[in-house]
Amino acid sequence: MKLRTLRVDRIACDGHGLCADLLPERIRLDEWGYPIIDPAPVGGEVAAHARRAVAACPKLALRLERVG
Amino acid sequence: MEAATAVRREHAAPPAGVPRLLAGVRAHGGRMSFREHTRWYGDPAVGLSARGLIHEVDQAGLRGRGGGAFSTGRKLAAVASARSRPVVVVNGMEGEPGSGKDRHLLAVAPHLVLDGAELAAAELGASRLIVAVRRDAVDAVRSLSRALAERGKGWFGLDPVEVAEGPPRYVGGEETALVHWLAGGPIRPLGVPPRPFERGVSGKPTLVLNVETAAHLAQIARYGAGWFRSVGPAHAPGTALVTIAGAVGRRGIAEVGLGASLEAVVRASEPRSEPAMLLAGGCFGGWLPWSAAAALTCDPDALRLAGAGLGAGILVVAPEQTCVLAETARIAAYLAREGAGQCGPCTHGVRAVAGDLQVLCSPQANGLVTDRLRRRISVVEGRGACGLPDGLVRLVSSALERFPDHVAAHERGHLCRQSAVVPLPPARALSDADWR
């Protein structure tokens, strides 16, 4: 199985916060509304939610990247 | 080979100790013209081993002097292995406030820097060689243009060396920011990857060499890896230029052997009173109580382990009455102004951290402010496209961890007197034009 992890493009991200709504298991927001992302690989049930969060980002700043 | 040896004898012998980069300059009492330089050093390619520059630099163990201390040999090899012809950029943007060593080197020994740059460019078959320098470093700019006129076409028949005069921003020396600006953009960092050695100027693999690093490279080519390693510890050999500031009689640039006692280096700059603490590494370094600093050496790894750094060689000597929190607050406010404004957590976080530090220096200080500050630095760490927030985290942590009694005194309402030891440019709001 390919391991993937969530990664945010800090320059592109402007803190809409949709990702934290869609993936609270892995993403929370800091006091300014920017995502703090759990670096653990995304797998199993979470993977589908993670893909939805990636697709929902209005700035295309969130990505699922292969580990390694 | 015999002829080469005979030619070499007419020139100065390799410096046996310290200084190295500044040995010729010292002997000449100032800037070395091209004639003086070639009489001192000879043709830069003489003495280069048959195995080539990259091998020699790798064997020498040279690490970048711009602050990152990354292996120059590995950087060269990475660019050399790329498929297309690379670009070589000499980075004289020297963004760290108070640092003046690259500017000084360009002002007094421009040909040593250009030798190193041209050697690297020739070895890599580079299509362009660009020297980027802060446009406010007038002495360096003038010396550089004079040097290029003195050299004519240069040693290796490259196209003319290009000079780029860049805006004096704190992040301007960050590789991706510099590459971005050279491509016509604002001097703001880009998200990575790709790194410049993969895709840099005009999409070409780009070797970015700090000014001082280029000068060391020229001396390695001439005198060899064994000579280079004869000063300094095995993991960080050679000498380094440091800029000494603060409460000392002799501020300015010094060349020190890596591994030298930090205490000896500071004492040689004639402190006006017994130092109380040292900021080692500038804005992305850390504070050390003098007792701890005096036991350490000029070693980038050891200083990093101690929670500070060597960075680009900035050492600020602070006397007894200095307030570490007020100084840190000043630096944080400076970094908040100089932030590129691209990454949310940095833009908001650095400002918030600067605000907390300011409160800690006011009658409103209490333990809750320190708690909030600690929480915030842990949140900000690692969340920028460049290292600016991480540098501030290290700096603030060093102040909190190394001076707990002082922090506690502030929390109880102790107010320090005004403190302004760290050299920082005057506060000024930046406009878009300041990034171009």
Average per-residue pLDDT in chain A?
Answer: 94
The torsion defined by the Cα of B141, B143, B145 and B150, in degrees rounded to 10, comes to -170
> Is ipTM beyond 0.90?
yes
**Backbone φ and ψ of B344, nearest 5°:** -50, -55
Pairwise CB contact (< 8 Å): B349 & A32:
yes
Start-end of H helices in B159-281: 175-182, 211-223, 225-228, 262-268
Distance (Å) from the alpha carbon of B85 to chain A's nearest alpha carbon: 28
Res B142 pLDDT > 80: yes
Res B336 pLDDT > 80: yes
Chain center to CA of A54: 6
State the pLDDT at residue B158.
63
Distance (Å) from the alpha carbon of B348 to chain A's nearest alpha carbon: 7
Over range B181-198, report the average pLDDT: 92
Res B2 pLDDT > 70: no
Pairwise CB contact (< 8 Å): B345 & A33:
no
Q: Which two tokens stand for residue B300?
A: 């980038």
CA distance B339 to B355: 15
Pairwise CB contact (< 8 Å): A34 & B345:
yes
Res B8 pLDDT > 60: no
**CB < 8 Å from B in window 2-41 of A:** 9-15, 30-34, 36
Over range B19-48, report the average pLDDT: 89
pLDDT tens-digit readout, B234-245: 999 999 999 999
Residues in A closer than 8 angstroms to B352, CB to CB, are: 31-32
Please name the residues in contact with B114: beta carbons below 8 A apart, sequence gap of 6 or more: B131, B147, B148, B151, B154, B161, B214
Number of CB atoms found within 10 A of residue A45's CB: 9
Question: Which among B182, B79, B180, B183 has a CA at the least distance from the CA of B385?
Answer: B180
Res B34 pLDDT > 70: yes
Residue in B379, B384, B385 nearest the CB of A30: B379
Indicate the range of B41-45, B94-98, B328-332 predicted with least confidence.
B41-45
Burial class of B233 by CB neighbour count within 10 A (0 to 12, 13 to 18, 19+): middle
pLDDT tens-digit readout, B50-96: 679 999 999 999 999 999 999 999 999 999 999 999 999 999 999 99
Count of residues in chain A: 68
Average per-residue pLDDT in chain B?
Answer: 94
Pairwise CB contact (< 8 Å): B345 & A9:
no
